[in-house]
Amino acid sequence: MKLVRDCSTLCRATKLMGAFILALGLTAATARAADDSVVQHPHFGPYTQQIASVAAWNVQPGYLSLDSDDTTRLMESMQNPGVVEAWLYAPKGLDRWFSVIRYGQTGHVSDDEKIDAAAVLEQLKRATEVGNEERRKRGWNEFHIIGWQVEPHYEPDTKRLSWATLGESGGQQVINYTTKILSREGVATVTLVTAPASLDASIAELKAQLDNFEFHPDQQYAAFRSGDKIAEYGLTGLIVGGAAAVAVKAGAWKWIVGMLAVGWKFIAAAVVAALAGIKSLFKRRTT
C-alpha cells in the first residue's frame, strides 16, 4: 500500500514537472536522457542540511534536501555542467514545489536602499532583451519579461529580499520567484519552482520553511564588523544581477549579455533534474 501512495505522488510530481518542461521549451527526449540513479543520498527530515559551511537549513518531517554533490549530478545528467555548490530543498514528493539554494560571498550588502520597482523592471527588461541575442545564438526560445508578479520587497527583520517576475517564452507564461537572504559576508539565493496556479500557496509554504534556515552566528547580518568586505551594490543590484549592476552604472550593457539566460538555464536545469531524480528518490524511500 505504501508503494501505491508513493507512485501516486510520483505521478503528481511528473505531471507538475511536465508542465514546466512545456513552459521552458524542453524536450521529453532530454528528460529521458537522465540517469535515474544520480541521486545517491537524499536526506528526509528531520535532518540538518549544511549550506556552504555558513548556514544550516533544518529539514522538517515531510521534506527532503539534497547535498551539493547530488544536486550537481542531477544538473550534469541534464547536460547542464558546472552548477556547483547548490542544494535542493522540497516537499518529499516534489509534487507542489521545490527550491534550489546557492550562496555567494559577495561581500556585505547594504540594506538601506529604497527600491524603485518601476526602474528595476525597466532594467530587467532591457537586460533580458540583450540576453535574447545569446538565446537566439544557442537556438533557445526568446524570453520576455511582462512585468512583476510580486514586486520586490525587503523584510528587515528576516533580511530577505523577494520578488517574482512574470515572463513569456515560447508562447507560455512563466513565473520566476526569487528570495535573497543577506548575511555578514554574502547572500543566499533561493529559487522557487512551482506551478503558476499554486504560486501563492507555494510561496507561503517556502517562507514557512525558510524560518528553519539560519546563518551561523558569526555569519549573520548583524555580525558585520568594520574591515569586512563591502559589496559594490545594494538591494537593486541583487535583483538585476550583482556584477551586472556595476555594468549598468557604467552603461556597459554588452556585459549583461546572457545574464538572465544563465539564470533561466539554471531554473530549467533544476526542473528537468527533478524528473531525473524523482524515481531514484522514491526507490530509495520504499526499500
pLDDT for res 269? 39
Residues 153, 89 share a domain: no
| Strand 63-66 to 143-155 pairing | unpaired
pLDDT band at 126, cuts 50/70/90? confident
State the Cα–Cα distance between residues 200 and 223, nearest whole angstrom.
Answer: 33
Would 202 be classed as within a structural domain?
Answer: no
Say yes or no: 13 and 77 in one domain: yes
Mark whether 84 and 171 lie in a shared domain. no
Domain shared by 115 and 179, yes or no:
yes
Give 262's contacts (C-beta < 8 A, 6+ positions apart): none
pLDDT in tens, 154-172: 999 999 999 999 888 888 8
pTM of the complete model: 0.76
Q: What is the pLDDT of residue 238?
A: 92
Residue numbers of the domain that contains 176: 106-183+191-197+210-261
Together in a domain, 173 and 77 = no
C-alpha 72 chain-centroid distance: 14
Average pLDDT over residues 219-245: 87
Mean pLDDT of 180-193: 94
Residues 177 and 235 in one domain: yes
Stretch 189-210: mean pLDDT, rounded?
91
The residue-averaged pLDDT of 62-78 equals 82
Is residue 205 domain-resident?
Answer: no
How far lies 225's CA from each of 134, 217, 235, 238, 283, in Å? 41, 13, 20, 21, 48
Residue 84 lies in a domain: yes
Say if CB 91 and CB 208 are below 8 A apart: no
> Is residue 84 located within the same domain as residue 65?
yes
Mean pLDDT of 137-166: 91
Domain identity same for 252 and 174: yes
CA nearest neighbour of 20 among 164, 127, 155, 173: 173
In angstroms, rounded to a whole number, what is the distance separating the alpha carbons of residues 24 and 18?
10
In this structure, the answer to whether residues 53 and 164 fall within a common structural domain is: no
Asked if 66 and 88 count as a contact pair (C-beta separation under 8 A), the reply is yes
Instruction: Say if 153 falls within a structural domain.
Output: yes
Answer with the residue of higher pLDDT: 133 or 78.
Answer: 133
Least confident range from 141-145, 187-191, 207-211, 264-268: namely: 264-268
Is residue 50 domain-shared with residue 67, that is, in the same domain?
A: yes
| pLDDT tens for each residue of 89-122 | 999 877 788 888 999 999 999 999 999 999 999 9
Query: Residue 57 domain-assigned?
Result: yes
Contact status, residue 66 vs residue 51, Cβ threshold 8 Å: no
* Separation between Cα atoms, residue 93 and residue 182, nearest integer Å: 29
**What is the number of domains present in the chain?**
2
pLDDT in tens, 37-47: 678 899 999 99
Residue written as grid cell 547536460: 79
Asked whether residue 32 is assigned to any structural domain, the reply reads: yes
Q: Where is pLDDT greater, at 18 or 277?
A: 277
Q: Is residue 258 packed enough to be buried (19+ CB in 10 Å), middle (13-18) or exposed (0-12)?
A: buried
Residues 42 and 167 in one domain: no
Sheet holding 213-215, edge to edge: 47-51, 55-59, 213-215
- All three cell numbers of 221: 547580518
User: Which pLDDT score, from 0 to 100, does residue 196 have?
Assistant: 82
Residues 249 and 134 in one domain: yes
Confidence grade of residue 179 (pLDDT, cut at 50, 70, 90): very high
The mean pLDDT of the chain is 75
Is residue 137's pLDDT more than 70? Answer: yes
Confidence of residue 7 (pLDDT cuts 50, 70, 90): very low
Domain-located, residue 204 = no
